[in-house]
Amino acid sequence: MNLAGKKILLGVSGGIAVYKSCELLRLLQKKGAEVRVCMTEAATEFVAPLTFASLSKCPVYLKNGAVEARPFQHIDFPRWADLYLVVPATANVIGKFACGIADDPVSLCFMSCTCPRVIAPAMNVAMYNSPAVKRNLEVLRGFESTTVLESPAGELACGEVGQGRLMEPAEIVEWLEANSPECHPGCEASGNHTVRTGTCKNGKYCAPAVPVGKDVPPTQDKTLPGYGKKVLLTAGRTEEAIDPVRYISNRSSGKTAVALASVFYANGFEVEVVAGPMEAAFPGGVKVTRVRSARDMHDAVMERLDQADAVVHCAAVADYRPAHAADAKIKDSRSQLTIELVPNPNILRDCTAARASRTGKEASRSQNAGASRNQNSSPKHQVIVGFALETDHFKEHAAEKLVKSGADALLLNAPVASDSGFGHDCVRYTLVRPGMDVPEMKMGGKVDLAQEIVGFVIDKLRV
């Protein structure tokens, strides 16, 4: 859809994601669209109507009205619009839409709207997965000229992880530009879970169907890019015993690994995690094996390595361990204590070495058998991604570590800011690839970091 000159009615319902609707409005205007806004009473408690009125240069349609308001806004606004966009759509307004209840501006406009409607859900994962919301979304998908956008999996405002996040404003705009919301629900491509394009039997451009929380696990959705693929992740930190009560460890919370597991799973991968101690919790559908020490993690990873299509080493593994752990608690005598340390196994390097050995053996067997060198007979390609946490000389250290590791890529991150890194939702990072200059680091959410890694893995597996 060419947004230039389009008249878009933006329906805003109450939720923490309301602030993103302000950004969406500006992005739509930059594309040349004219935007008007209607709001539920709950939405006004998150962002003042004056904000939207100032941005849109038009009075906002509110339940209590305004001096400038006309008496038939619930008819005039939808009739004026070429598209009705509801962002965010809470469980409450979704239920109203599905059941034909119209007692606030957003639901009134939905009821009287005759133009195409696009809905972007946003709510807690428990609400999103509730039977009532699933049923209501299924009902809306059956409405003519109505599209329900994807609610991505990831970290939510409440700190939980799962589906329910609002699609990012830039992604909504990109979706609108790439697709026509005029497509009817009975088109040839309806019912698919993944983004795609096509043409309806009636010749109209078909809007891609997107994941909307149907009762089909992503790992069983053949249209997702990770279908039939397995990813092995390491997560958390390791603890190296000094005695039965003391240990050497670090500050890793495991949040990045949870974001990775969520995004891989949402893209159809079978996800298995070898996790050391950590605070963050993994979403359902992810298989987790718990370990404590670096050697335990090493053994668990090597045992599962051959079954994985991709391996991402996200855990903060202790480089050293005490040479000897005391059987009993070391008594506090206030005398000087010296602890001899020995290096732990390097899990990342051992994985790339095992891959190289396995690939060489498979290639040798193929040649000995006289197999033709085509895609079907070539050794299975396994993608391996490592992590590098640095606090100084970032690019030099990361480039050196990538070469030594033998990995396909290295995620360089630096938790040096007070509001990023360990325990926070944001981090400075960049993805380092062999033979390429190290890109500048950027500040982003850990889900954004995860999406970049997952995209890289998907592209490598396609080669």
Q: What is the per-residue DSSP string for 272-305?
A: EEEE-S-SS-PPTT-EEEE--SHHHHHHHHHHHG
Which residue, 290, 270, 282, 314, is CA-closest to 125? 282
Same structural domain for residues 363 and 437? Answer: yes
Same structural domain for residues 29 and 89? Answer: yes
Same structural domain for residues 327 and 385? Answer: yes
Same structural domain for residues 300 and 448? Answer: yes
DSSP per-residue letters across 39-81 = E-TTGGGTS-HHHHHHHHTS--B-TT--TT--TTHHHHHHHH-
Find out whether 116 and 184 touch, Cβ atoms under 8 Å: no
Find out whether 145 and 115 touch, Cβ atoms under 8 Å: yes
- Of the pLDDT bands very low, low, confident and very high (cuts 50, 70, 90), residue 74 is low
The 8 Å CB, 24+ separation contacts for 255-258 are 255/155, 255/280, 255/423, 255/424, 255/425, 255/446, 256/314, 256/413, 256/427, 256/446, 256/449, 256/450, 257/233, 257/314, 257/315, 258/155, 258/161, 258/282, 258/283
Cα dist. 212→74, 121, 134, 199, 344 in Å?
28, 9, 8, 21, 44
Cα dist. 153→5, 91, 166, 298, 451 in Å?
33, 17, 9, 29, 11
Inform me whether the pLDDT recorded for 194 exceeds 50: no
Residue 222, in any domain of the structure:
no
Residue 224, in any domain of the structure:
no
Instruction: Of 68-82, 343-357, 364-378, 418-432, give the lowest mean pLDDT range.
Output: 364-378
Q: Which of 178, 213, 248 is the last residue of a domain?
A: 213
Residues known to be catalytic: 158
Same structural domain for residues 208 and 235? Answer: no
Residue 357, in any domain of the structure:
yes
Specify which residues 198 forms β-bridges with: 206
End-to-end Cα spacing for the chain: 32
Cα dist. 149→88, 89, 152, 435 in Å?
11, 10, 9, 38
pLDDT in tens, 344-370: 999 999 999 999 988 877 767 767 766
Same structural domain for residues 308 and 446? Answer: yes
CA atoms within 13 A on the CB side of 134: 10
Inform me whether the pLDDT recorded for 397 exceeds 90: no
Which of 92-101, 301-310, 451-460 is predicted most confidently?
301-310
**CATH code for position 129:** 3.40.50.1950
Same structural domain for residues 75 and 170? Answer: yes
DSSP per-residue letters across 71-133 = TTHHHHHHHH-SEEEEEEE-HHHHHHHHHT---SHHHHHHHH--S-EEEEE---HHHHTSHHH
Same structural domain for residues 391 and 449? Answer: yes
Specify which residues 119 forms β-bridges with: 86, 148
Same structural domain for residues 310 and 257? Answer: yes
**CATH code for position 411:** 3.40.50.10300
Same structural domain for residues 192 and 316? Answer: no
pTM: 0.55
Q: Structural domain tally of the chain?
A: 2
User: DSSP assignment, residue 237?
Assistant: B
pLDDT value for 72: 46
Find out whether 412 and 390 touch, Cβ atoms under 8 Å: yes
Instruction: Of 230-244, 303-317, 417-431, give the lowest mean pLDDT range.
Output: 417-431
Residue 259, in any domain of the structure:
yes
Q: Which of 180, 213, 246 is the last residue of a domain?
A: 213
Residue 364, in any domain of the structure:
yes
Residue 223, in any domain of the structure:
no
Specify which residues 413 forms β-bridges with: 389, 429
What token pair was written down for 27?
Answer: 């992005």
Same structural domain for residues 422 and 315? Answer: yes
Which residue, 42, 40, 37, is CA-closest to 56? 37
My answer on whether omega of the bond before 345 falls inside 30° of 0, hence cis, is no
Same structural domain for residues 167 and 269? Answer: no
Tokens 């405002």 sit on residue = 157
User: DSSP assignment, residue 207?
Assistant: P
Residue 220, in any domain of the structure:
no
Instruction: Look up the domain containing 162 and give its range.
Output: 7-213
Inform me whether the pLDDT recorded for 413 exceeds 90: no
Residue 368, in any domain of the structure:
yes
Distance, in Å, from the CA atom of 300 to the CA atom of 314, rounded to the nearest integer, reads 15
pLDDT in tens, 366-383: 677 665 444 443 346 899
Inform me whether the pLDDT recorded for 160 exceeds 70: no
Rounded (10°) angle between helices 394-405 and 347-368: 40
Inform me whether the pLDDT recorded for 121 exceeds 70: yes
Q: Which of 187, 213, 239 is the last residue of a domain?
A: 213
Distance, in Å, from the CA atom of 65 to the CA atom of 441, rounded to the nearest integer, reads 48
